[in-house]
Amino acid sequence: MSHPVSDSPRHRIFAMLDVDGDGVITHAEYVARVDRVASAMGRDAHHPVVTASRAAHEAVFEDMDADHDGRVTFEEYHAWVGHDAFERSCRPALGSLFDIADTDADGRLDREEFTRLRTAAGNAESDAGAAFDALDTDRDGLIDRDAYLAGIRDFVTTGTSPMAAAYGADRPVLKTQ
Ligand SMILES: [Ca+2]
Ligand SMILES: [Ca+2]
Ligand SMILES: [Ca+2]
Protein backbone atom coordinates (compact mmCIF):
# COMPACT_ATOMS: atom_id res chain seq x y z
CA MET A 1 0.00 0.00 0.00
CA SER A 2 1.26 3.44 -0.86
CA HIS A 3 0.43 6.33 1.41
CA PRO A 4 -2.43 8.20 -0.22
CA VAL A 5 -2.13 11.96 -0.31
CA SER A 6 -5.10 13.74 1.21
CA ASP A 7 -7.46 15.25 -1.33
CA SER A 8 -7.79 18.33 0.81
CA PRO A 9 -4.96 20.45 -0.71
CA ARG A 10 -6.31 19.68 -4.17
CA HIS A 11 -9.82 20.67 -3.18
CA ARG A 12 -8.53 23.93 -1.74
CA ILE A 13 -6.51 24.80 -4.85
CA PHE A 14 -9.35 23.81 -7.17
CA ALA A 15 -11.78 25.97 -5.18
CA MET A 16 -9.36 28.91 -5.45
CA LEU A 17 -9.05 28.48 -9.23
CA ASP A 18 -12.83 28.04 -9.68
CA VAL A 19 -13.39 31.72 -8.99
CA ASP A 20 -17.20 31.71 -9.49
CA GLY A 21 -17.61 28.41 -7.63
CA ASP A 22 -19.63 26.64 -10.34
CA GLY A 23 -17.53 23.47 -10.13
CA VAL A 24 -15.42 23.98 -13.26
CA ILE A 25 -12.35 26.06 -14.02
CA THR A 26 -13.04 27.72 -17.36
CA HIS A 27 -10.28 28.87 -19.67
CA ALA A 28 -11.27 32.50 -19.08
CA GLU A 29 -11.26 32.03 -15.31
CA TYR A 30 -7.82 30.49 -15.36
CA VAL A 31 -6.08 32.94 -17.69
CA ALA A 32 -7.67 35.92 -15.86
CA ARG A 33 -5.34 35.11 -12.95
CA VAL A 34 -2.50 36.67 -14.91
CA ASP A 35 -4.33 39.95 -15.48
CA ARG A 36 -5.50 40.09 -11.85
CA VAL A 37 -1.94 39.70 -10.61
CA ALA A 38 -0.56 42.15 -13.21
CA SER A 39 -3.17 44.71 -12.24
CA ALA A 40 -2.55 44.22 -8.50
CA MET A 41 1.18 44.75 -9.05
CA GLY A 42 0.71 47.76 -11.31
CA ARG A 43 2.24 45.98 -14.30
CA ASP A 44 1.39 46.99 -17.86
CA ALA A 45 -0.71 44.27 -19.54
CA HIS A 46 1.82 44.15 -22.41
CA HIS A 47 4.97 43.97 -20.28
CA PRO A 48 7.11 40.98 -21.36
CA VAL A 49 6.76 39.27 -17.94
CA VAL A 50 2.96 39.50 -18.26
CA THR A 51 2.99 38.19 -21.84
CA ALA A 52 5.26 35.32 -20.77
CA SER A 53 2.94 34.52 -17.88
CA ARG A 54 -0.10 34.41 -20.16
CA ALA A 55 1.71 31.92 -22.42
CA ALA A 56 2.69 29.78 -19.41
CA HIS A 57 -0.92 29.76 -18.18
CA GLU A 58 -2.22 28.81 -21.63
CA ALA A 59 0.17 25.84 -21.52
CA VAL A 60 -1.07 24.77 -18.06
CA PHE A 61 -4.70 24.98 -19.14
CA GLU A 62 -4.03 22.96 -22.27
CA ASP A 63 -2.28 20.36 -20.11
CA MET A 64 -5.06 20.22 -17.45
CA ASP A 65 -8.02 20.13 -19.84
CA ALA A 66 -7.69 16.49 -20.89
CA ASP A 67 -10.79 16.44 -23.12
CA HIS A 68 -10.07 19.91 -24.56
CA ASP A 69 -13.56 21.30 -24.02
CA GLY A 70 -12.29 24.53 -22.45
CA ARG A 71 -13.47 23.50 -18.98
CA VAL A 72 -11.48 21.73 -16.28
CA THR A 73 -13.64 19.64 -13.96
CA PHE A 74 -12.43 18.51 -10.53
CA GLU A 75 -12.02 15.01 -11.96
CA GLU A 76 -9.74 16.35 -14.71
CA TYR A 77 -7.82 18.46 -12.22
CA HIS A 78 -7.45 15.58 -9.78
CA ALA A 79 -6.20 13.18 -12.46
CA TRP A 80 -3.70 15.76 -13.67
CA VAL A 81 -2.28 17.42 -10.55
CA GLY A 82 0.85 16.07 -8.87
CA HIS A 83 4.61 16.18 -8.91
CA ASP A 84 5.06 15.63 -12.66
CA ALA A 85 2.42 18.18 -13.66
CA PHE A 86 3.91 20.64 -11.20
CA GLU A 87 7.40 20.35 -12.64
CA ARG A 88 6.16 20.27 -16.25
CA SER A 89 3.75 23.17 -16.26
CA CYS A 90 2.83 24.63 -12.85
CA ARG A 91 6.37 25.66 -11.97
CA PRO A 92 6.76 27.91 -15.05
CA ALA A 93 3.28 29.42 -14.57
CA LEU A 94 3.65 30.05 -10.83
CA GLY A 95 7.18 31.30 -11.39
CA SER A 96 5.87 33.72 -14.01
CA LEU A 97 3.36 35.17 -11.51
CA PHE A 98 6.20 35.56 -9.01
CA ASP A 99 8.17 37.42 -11.71
CA ILE A 100 5.25 39.80 -12.28
CA ALA A 101 5.26 40.57 -8.56
CA ASP A 102 9.07 40.83 -8.38
CA THR A 103 9.27 44.36 -9.74
CA ASP A 104 13.03 44.80 -9.14
CA ALA A 105 13.71 41.32 -10.61
CA ASP A 106 16.06 40.20 -7.85
CA GLY A 107 14.27 36.86 -7.34
CA ARG A 108 12.80 37.87 -3.97
CA LEU A 109 9.52 39.36 -2.76
CA ASP A 110 9.00 41.48 0.30
CA ARG A 111 5.92 41.08 2.51
CA GLU A 112 3.82 43.66 0.66
CA GLU A 113 4.62 42.21 -2.78
CA PHE A 114 4.01 38.68 -1.55
CA THR A 115 0.67 39.59 0.03
CA ARG A 116 -0.50 41.47 -3.08
CA LEU A 117 0.47 38.51 -5.27
CA ARG A 118 -1.30 35.95 -3.11
CA THR A 119 -4.47 37.96 -2.53
CA ALA A 120 -4.69 38.62 -6.30
CA ALA A 121 -4.31 34.84 -6.73
CA GLY A 122 -7.31 34.27 -4.45
CA ASN A 123 -5.96 33.86 -0.92
CA ALA A 124 -7.27 35.75 2.10
CA GLU A 125 -4.87 38.52 3.18
CA SER A 126 -4.37 37.07 6.66
CA ASP A 127 -3.61 33.63 5.17
CA ALA A 128 -1.06 35.18 2.79
CA GLY A 129 0.59 36.94 5.72
CA ALA A 130 0.76 33.69 7.70
CA ALA A 131 2.35 31.93 4.71
CA PHE A 132 4.90 34.73 4.40
CA ASP A 133 5.91 34.29 8.05
CA ALA A 134 6.19 30.51 7.60
CA LEU A 135 8.30 30.83 4.44
CA ASP A 136 10.58 33.58 5.74
CA THR A 137 12.58 31.24 7.96
CA ASP A 138 15.66 33.48 8.14
CA ARG A 139 13.48 36.51 8.99
CA ASP A 140 15.09 38.83 6.46
CA GLY A 141 11.68 40.01 5.29
CA LEU A 142 12.11 38.45 1.84
CA ILE A 143 10.90 35.26 0.17
CA ASP A 144 13.11 33.58 -2.45
CA ARG A 145 11.56 32.38 -5.70
CA ASP A 146 12.81 28.80 -5.19
CA ALA A 147 11.49 28.61 -1.62
CA TYR A 148 8.11 29.91 -2.80
CA LEU A 149 7.81 27.38 -5.62
CA ALA A 150 9.03 24.52 -3.41
CA GLY A 151 6.42 25.56 -0.84
CA ILE A 152 3.57 25.29 -3.35
CA ARG A 153 4.93 22.02 -4.75
CA ASP A 154 5.07 20.51 -1.26
CA PHE A 155 1.52 21.65 -0.51
CA VAL A 156 0.23 20.10 -3.75
CA THR A 157 2.15 16.84 -3.40
CA THR A 158 2.24 16.24 0.37
CA GLY A 159 -0.16 18.72 1.97
CA THR A 160 2.61 19.72 4.39
CA SER A 161 4.26 23.02 3.59
CA PRO A 162 4.88 26.53 4.85
CA MET A 163 2.59 27.56 1.97
CA ALA A 164 -0.34 25.58 3.45
CA ALA A 165 -1.38 28.65 5.45
CA ALA A 166 -1.88 30.61 2.22
CA TYR A 167 -4.73 28.28 1.28
CA GLY A 168 -6.28 28.41 4.73
CA ALA A 169 -5.23 24.79 5.30
CA ASP A 170 -5.07 25.41 9.04
CA ARG A 171 -8.80 26.23 8.95
CA PRO A 172 -11.65 23.83 8.23
CA VAL A 173 -13.28 23.92 4.79
CA LEU A 174 -16.85 25.20 4.73
CA LYS A 175 -18.72 22.52 2.82
CA THR A 176 -21.47 23.88 0.62
CA GLN A 177 -22.72 20.58 -0.76
CA1 LIG B 1 -15.88 28.31 -12.51
CA1 LIG C 1 -12.37 19.55 -19.77
CA1 LIG D 1 12.35 41.68 -5.51
Is residue 174 situated within a structural domain?
A: no
Q: Which ligand is nearest to the CA of 105?
A: 3
- pLDDT confidence of 1, banded at 50, 70, 90? very low
Q: Give 27 Cα–ligand 1 centroid separation in angstroms.
A: 9
Percent of the residues in the chain that have a pLDDT greater than 70, as a whole number? 92
CATH of the domain at 96: 1.10.238.10
Query: Residue 116: which domain range?
Result: 8-167
Structural domains of the chain, count: 1
Q: Give 66 Cα–ligand 2 centroid separation in angstroms.
A: 6
Q: Which ligand is nearest to the CA of 71?
A: 2
Task: For residues 155 and 48, give the distance between their C-alpha atoms in angstroms, rounded to a whole number.
Answer: 29
Residue-wise pLDDT tens digits, 24-82? 999 999 999 999 999 999 999 999 999 999 999 999 999 999 999 999 999 999 999 99
Is residue 177 situated within a structural domain?
A: no
Residue-wise pLDDT tens digits, 92-135? 999 999 999 999 999 999 999 999 999 999 899 999 999 999 99
pTM: 0.89
Q: Which residues contact 101 (CB under 8 A, 6 or more apart)?
A: 37, 41, 109, 113, 114, 116, 117
pLDDT at 172: 61
